[in-house]
Amino acid sequence: MSYARKSVGGFEKQQDDTLRKRKKGSVDSYIIRRLLSYIMPFKGLLAAAVVVTIAGAVLGPLRPYMTKLAIDNYIIPGDIRGLTAISLMLFAVILLDGVKQYTATYLTQLIGQRAVLNLRMDIFRHLQKLSVRFYDRNPIGRLITRTTNDVEALNEMLSSGLVTIIGDLLQLVFIVVLMFMIDWHLTCIVLAVLPFVIYITMSFKSRVRVAFQDVRTHLARLNTFIQEHISGMNIVQLFDRQSSELCKHMDINREYRDANIRTVLYFSIYYPLVELISSVAAGLVIWYSGVRMLKGDITLGVVVSFVQYIWLFFRPLQHLSDKFNIMQTALASSDRVFKLLEEKDVMEEPESPVAISSLKHDIVFDHVWFAYNAENWVIRDMSFRVKRGEKVAIVGATGSGKTTIINVLSKLYPVSRGSVRIDGVDITSIPEHSLRRLIGVVMQDVFLFSGTIRENLAFGKPGVSDEEIHEAARIVGADRFIDRLPGRYDYRVRENGSGLSAGQKQLLAFVRALLYNPDILVLDEATSSVDTETEGLIDAATARLMKNRTSITIAHRLSTVQHADTIIVMHKGVIKETGSHQQLLAAKGLYYKLYLLQHPEKIHESPGAQA
């Protein structure tokens, strides 16, 4: 099995399963209704485009008819004046047709661009509402494909598809009507081949739809693979995995190529068949017209106009097949886009929200259980209390559930059992914007956005003044390295802080948290990746940041938590010990063992000396 097949995610499988469950014919109609909902806000522009298209649909079919009149009524009789008049009329028709095409194209493109703008906004708005669990199980590359390539496919259809199809269909109707007016025998010959075109088109539709879905699926896999490997290229190179990863990329790329070739194959068969049928129709018309001309039963103008009508008749059919290509691409893409918009894995807003402006009393974890997957418990029956203004530290081995406490407190994940309360209010009843305003988190892995230092520092507090930013940077000690950067606070940060050291990014995170000014400060391994000098700066900044503020510190280095009011020691999701640094050392339990592992030189000292 290739890497591409093994990397199919739950999101893709869920979409394909849902598609199969829908009744036959319901998929396209559902998608078209959703697409129309993005066009309806521009009913005025749409109506204008439709009116222009309908009014101009007769202009093209008029030209062969006017050619017939010119030949039969003016050229053969030798009427120069009449020929000049109808030639001027024909020129006016051609000119009006050009104006119609320009106006219709501009209006449809305007509608499409505005509709796609709203769609992109809806997608990004919805992505911001989706829970962290959704992003845990869906690769970033796949989501980027949904929001870029798939939406761009919709853009082409909304901009040039629907209204143009209406124009082509109306043009076909006018062509048939004028052909019947000129000669119904020849018209029947042309229409006799139409069932073959319809049959070929329907067979083509059933196959190309599946092919386009495969193309989108393999494109998503390709984008996912490339995004992951560009982000982790240093790991690929450090482990010398270039050759093996190139083979994996070859598998994915080959499947994407094959999916595209299948669509090319279908179109390479479809277009020549339609061309062949139109040529057969033209041949039959010319043969039958020749026979009738020998009998004097038909005029030269009728024959010439019908030859023109044959090519004009099959041109809209070919246009429709081109639009059908666009439609199939768009339907395959829009099905995935709308499935993303229908994703229900969001953090529900409380039915009876209780807004909290500040922490007045305490934070309580009451018999909390939590599991990321099924009942693989990460936190087990956890209960503790953090009083307002208290400094609490949480320590324990990797995987003991320390960071999960922060995820639950921030409501990034809902608790499985028990409750978390702030000032007696369950956090499920607190609106997210109110809860997040209370809590400021400094993570171990700091994320910085592309932009200036100033923009990153002010991320949590838009509109903050330069004076406040400079003062916060001075307090934390970040101003020392910022002043050395080209442009200082206008220095452009590259993707995720590339070009800055881990310690510098950590200092910027502290400045950002200080400007955010939360009631509850959470430090998640905030000094684990900094050197001793930077750690000293951060320790000094942390002391100022924690002053008169409730704080929860997660740490591996026990030296950073010795001054906490309460230290919670965790092991495998369970609280094993609670107390101050001195109390836990005196108890000689798990904390005492962890302390000796980090400070073996203290092994012969008394607990009192260790302090």
pLDDT (tens digit per residue) in 65-116:
888 888 888 888 888 888 888 889 888 888 888 888 888 888 888 888 888 8
CB within 8 A of 501, min separation 6: which ones?
Answer: none
3-state SS, residue 425: strand
Helix-strand-coil split of the chain, %, nearest 5: 65, 10, 20
Q: Taking residues 467-496, report their average pLDDT.
A: 82
Is residue 384's pLDDT more than 50?
A: yes
* In the chain, % of residues over pLDDT 70: 87
Nearest-5° angle of CA 554, CA 556, CA 562?
Answer: 75
Please name the residue that has the structure tokens 């449809």.
Answer: 108
Structure tokens at 342: 């229908």
Structure tokens at 13: 């499988």
Q: What backbone phi and psi angles, to 5 degrees, belong to 570?
A: -110, 150
Q: Is 53 exposed, middle or buried (0-12, 13-18, 19+ CB in 10 A)?
A: buried
Q: How many of the other CB atoms lie within 10 Å of CB of 139? A: 20
7 confidence band (pLDDT: 50, 70, 90): very low
Residue 496, pLDDT score: 67
Structure tokens at 268: 């390479």
Q: Taking residues 421-443, report their average pLDDT.
A: 84
Contact 437, 517 (CB under 8 A): no
Residue 357, pLDDT score: 80
Q: Is 34 exposed, middle or buried (0-12, 13-18, 19+ CB in 10 A)?
A: middle
Do strands 520-524 and 574-579 pair parallel, antiparallel, or not at all (unpaired)?
A: unpaired
Please give the Cα distance from 520 to 390 (Å, whole number). 10
Please name the residue that has the structure tokens 């495998």.
Answer: 572
Question: What does each C-alpha distance from 495 to 132, 449, 499, 562 come to in angstroms?
Answer: 21, 6, 9, 36
Question: What does each C-alpha distance from 458 to 348, 464, 497, 515, 557 come to in angstroms?
Answer: 28, 6, 15, 7, 30
Structure tokens at 71: 């030949």
pLDDT (tens digit per residue) in 540-577:
767 777 777 888 888 777 777 778 888 888 888 888 88
Q: Where does 411-507 show beta strands of DSSP type E?
A: 417-422, 425-426, 439-442, 451-452, 492-493
pTM score: 0.70
Q: What backbone phi and psi angles, to 5 degrees, belong to 440?
A: -115, 125
610 confidence band (pLDDT: 50, 70, 90): very low
325 confidence band (pLDDT: 50, 70, 90): low
Please give the Cα distance from 513 to 440 (Å, whole number). 6
Please give the Cα distance from 70 to 87 (Å, whole number). 8
**Span between the terminal Cα atoms of the chain, in Å:** 59
* CATH placement of domain 362-579: 3.40.50.300
Q: For residues 319, 324, 329 and 330, what is the CA-based torsion angle, rounded to 10 degrees?
A: 100
Q: Where in the chain is the domain with CATH 3.40.50.300?
A: 362-579
Q: Output the average pLDDT for the chain.
A: 78
**Pick from 520, 521, 568, 550: which is nearest to 368 by CA?**
568
* In the chain, % of residues over pLDDT 90: 0
322 confidence band (pLDDT: 50, 70, 90): low
Q: Taking residues 223-233, report their average pLDDT.
A: 76
Q: Where in the chain is the domain with CATH 1.20.1560.10?
A: 12-341
Structure tokens at 414: 């809902």
**Which helix or strand (DSSP H or E) is residue 383 part of?**
strand 377-387
Q: Taking residues 220-228, report their average pLDDT.
A: 80
Contact 163, 245 (CB under 8 A): no
Mean pLDDT highest for which of 38-47, 184-193, 251-260, 401-410?
Answer: 251-260
Q: Is CATH 3.30.559.10 the right assignment for the domain spanning 12-341?
A: no
Give strand pairing partners of 368: 382
CB within 8 A of 478, min separation 6: which ones?
Answer: 504, 507, 508, 510, 511
Is residue 488's pLDDT more than 50?
A: yes
Nearest-5° angle of CA 21, CA 24, CA 29?
Answer: 100
